[in-house]
Amino acid sequence: MPALLAILLTACAQLEMPPGGPEDRFPPYVVETVPDTFAVVEPGLRDIFIRFSERISERTAGGTLDDAVVVSPPVDRVRVRHSRYGIAISLGEGLLPDRVYRITVLPVVNDMFANNLRDAFDLVISTGPEFVPNVVAGMVEDRVTGRATPDVRVEARFLMGGDTIVHWNVSDSAGVYSLRFVPDGPFEIGAWQDRNRDREVGEREPQAAFVAGELATPPDTSFSVLSLIEPDTTPPRLARVNIVDSVTLRFEFDDYLEPTVSGEAFSGELAIAPEPDTAVDAAEEEDSLAVADRRGPLMLDPETAARYTDSVAAVRTADSVAATQLADSIAEAGSLDSLAAANVLDSLLAERLVEPRRVIVVRDTIRVRFFQEHEYTRWVAFREDSLARAQEPDSATGPGTGDPEGPEAPGDGAAADSVDIPLGLSGLIIPSRTVVGVLDGELPPGVPYAASVVGVANIHGTSGGEGVDTVMRPLPPPEPEDTTEAEGDAAAGDTVTPPDTVTPPDTVATPGALGLAGAVRPLELPFLRSRGIARPGQALTHPPSRRPRRTARAPGR
């Protein structure tokens, strides 16, 4: 029995909606104000009462009751008290003379069923001046995302007779603000997220700088979109550089960049990055020689690469004298050590190889042309359109005569203008944290480069952004070794090779015959040591040949 009584008492204490009848889904609305709207009142008025169509809740949909009422121009010590069917507003020291006041009830006031006011309600009264229907309106956006921003304090400051009269409001859920019945003439308007409700612009509060406006002959309307930006006085810093392809890099920063500043204002380059000088033991040295003996790509500077190409052409025409002279010039250039040059050219002379080794041109520096993301999008569109038009049979320039380099200025041409660039509510380009760097030559694989950039400005206009990061393209996979000849020799092991078919020793092409004997000054790149390039002062020797030898058998066996 006591347990049953406790359950009944607990059930009676629970708050529930009254049983019976349909659920109330209609929002409350204002039915009466004291004083009446558009009334002319005496200066010093301190009390205002607003009655609603039904009982309202003491709790609002956001904040307190004090935050649910806007008095513009502002009045000190505004307090809002709840009553059964309305709210009582206390205006502190009272209204000043010669002002038109707007008391706004925001749509956060709700009834007992949590139905909010459908729209904000304005009560307009005057302490002397006439009511002029001037309007300052617009929207508030987040500058970074371009989307509408609600609950932002917007102020318009009018200079009248040496005094500054401030009219203000907050943006609604759609980012829209409206200041009605304001004075005519010039004004300044700005906005900020008043997070601590102190009516002052905080150093860390997102804000839109005050801009000039003017209301001419009344009635007049002024519309503007205000863009909020998080405060930041430090220049952007380079966070990382990502490789897009062999000629394109993407530079990422720790802050959003000002999109109206062209990438042509930035400067930078790629320079070979030295690796730490570490000790090399005997085993690693032997492995380096083995790497040099493989038929992998040759990493040469532009001048030596051209000489190597000429030597290949000489070998193909069986001009061994010309090949020897070119081999000497390559060795003197110092871009190949004696071992690598001998292995390459000896094999070419001995076997008349049709396909030479791949040459990777390594330059000390590579120039970079910078683009903002939207500039790069337009530039790529222009290039693609130019190449497509150049391939058309009726093209004015003829097939293949288009300009593959694209426009001199990013975004020139009709194709570039048709590209969809993301814009905010204000029509400004959405900012990005990255810029694109287009190289004036291919980024060689396996070579570390220091990518630098300077002169970058963030979304606040703070310039001086810079940074350096190291990038390196991965090496291509090694070509599979050709074992066909070795397998053929093993299968024909019982075949007797006539002695007169053996090449005499004095006719074998040697490093000395090619002018490559002795140590050669290497390319001054520490990272190439592991690829078989000699260190200064190192004497190079040839490793044992890896080619299977043919064994001659005596006749009759």
**pLDDT score of 548:** 41
**Prediction pTM value:** 0.69
Neighbours of 391 (CB within 10 A): 13
| Residue 294 pLDDT exceeds 80 | no
Identify residue 344 by its one-letter amino acid code.
V
The domain segmentation of the chain, as residue ranges, is 34-228, 232-305+358-478+507-552
Q: How confident is the model at residue 300 (pLDDT cuts 50, 70, 90)?
A: confident
Say which CATH topology domain 34-228 has.
Answer: Immunoglobulin-like (2.60.40)
- Three-state SS at 313: helix
Of 10-14, 321-325, 441-445, minimum mean pLDDT range: 10-14
**Between the CA of residue 494 and those of 486, 488, 489, 497, 501, what are the distances in Å?**
14, 12, 9, 9, 16
Q: Give the integer Cα–Cα distance in Å for 93 and 20.
A: 47
Neighbours of 487 (CB within 10 A): 11
**pLDDT score of 491:** 52
Q: How confident is the model at residue 362 (pLDDT cuts 50, 70, 90)?
A: confident
CATH code, 232-305+358-478+507-552:
2.60.40.1220
Q: How confident is the model at residue 348 (pLDDT cuts 50, 70, 90)?
A: low
Write out pLDDT tens, residues 213-222: 999 988 999 9
**pLDDT score of 271:** 93
| Residue 270 pLDDT exceeds 60 | yes
How does the average pLDDT of the chain come out, rounded? 76
Write out pLDDT tens, residues 542-551: 344 334 444 4
Write out pLDDT tens, residues 16-70: 555 555 677 889 999 999 999 999 999 999 999 999 999 999 888 888 899 999 9
161: enclosing H helix or E strand: none
**pLDDT score of 317:** 64
Cα distance between the two ends of the chain: 119
Q: How confident is the model at residue 512 (pLDDT cuts 50, 70, 90)?
A: very low
Write out pLDDT tens, residues 366-375: 999 999 999 9
In 25-162, which ranges are E strands? 30-34, 39-40, 47-52, 69-72, 79-82, 86-90, 100-105, 121-126, 135-142, 153-160
| Residue 282 pLDDT exceeds 60 | no
**pLDDT score of 407:** 45
Write out pLDDT tens, residues 244-268: 999 999 999 999 999 999 999 999 9
Domain 34-228 identical in fold to domain 232-305+358-478+507-552 = yes
**Smallest Cα–Cα separation from 386: which of 370, 402, 373, 397?**
402
**pLDDT score of 516:** 34
| Residue 174 pLDDT exceeds 90 | yes
Sign of CA dihedral 279, 285, 287, 289: positive
| Residue 189 pLDDT exceeds 70 | yes
| Residue 417 pLDDT exceeds 80 | no
Write out pLDDT tens, residues 217-238: 889 999 999 999 998 889 999 9
**pLDDT score of 533:** 37
